[in-house]
Amino acid sequence: MQDSTPFSFTLVITGAPYSSQAPQSALSFAAAAIRAGHRVDRVFLYGDGVQLASALASPPSDEPHWPREWSTFLEEHGIPGVACIASALRRGLVDEGEQKRYELPASNLLAPFTIAGLGEWVEGRMASSRTVYFHGSD
C-alpha cells in the first residue's frame, strides 16, 4: 500500500437484496476494507436498500441469506446499520415503535438494524473520510 492512512467509510446501500447485487457487493467491500485496516463507521440503507433489514426474508436454503449475513457482520464489528425511516415505512419495514404508532399487525426489523432519518446519512458523510454508494440496477 502506498498510503497507510486508514480511511473511515460510510456505506449507502440503495439496491435491494435478490433484485440487485448491491447488498452483496457492499458486504464484500466492507469486509475487504476492514481486512485492509480501514474502518466502517456506519451502513445506511436507503430506497429499496431497506429491504436488506427485513427479518422476514426467507430465501431458499441453498442461497445466501444476505439480511442475516449483514446482520452477523454488523454485530461482529460493532457497526451501526440504519434504515431510512421514510424509505422503510413506504416499503413495509417497521420496528416495534412504528408498529405501535401506525397500529400495524406486526414489526419486521432485523437486529441490529435501527430506523432513523436522513440526518444519519448527513452525519455519516460529514464524519467519515469516504462515503460509498451501492445502487441497484435502475
Partner 1 sequence: MSTLIVIDQPPYGSWAGREALDMAFSLAAFDQPVSLLFCGAGVNWLRKGQEPGTIRQKSVEKNLAAAPIFGVEALLADGGDCNRYGLESEQLLDGVTLVQADSQLFTKYSHTAFAG
21 binds partner 1 (CB under 8 A): no
Selected binder of partner 1 within 46, 66, 70, 134 (CB under 8 A)? 46
Burial group, residue 126, by CB count within 10 angstroms (0-12, 13-18, 19+)? exposed
Residue closer to partner 1 (CB basis): 86 or 111: 86
Selected binder of partner 1 within 17, 41, 87, 93 (CB under 8 A)? 87
Relative orientation angle of helices 66-77 and 22-35, to the nearest 10 degrees? 30
Number of shown-chain residues binding partner 1 (CB under 8 A): 18
Please name the residue that has the C-alpha cell 464484500.
28
Residue closer to partner 1 (CB basis): 77 or 130: 130
Retrieve residue 52's grid coordinates.
436488506
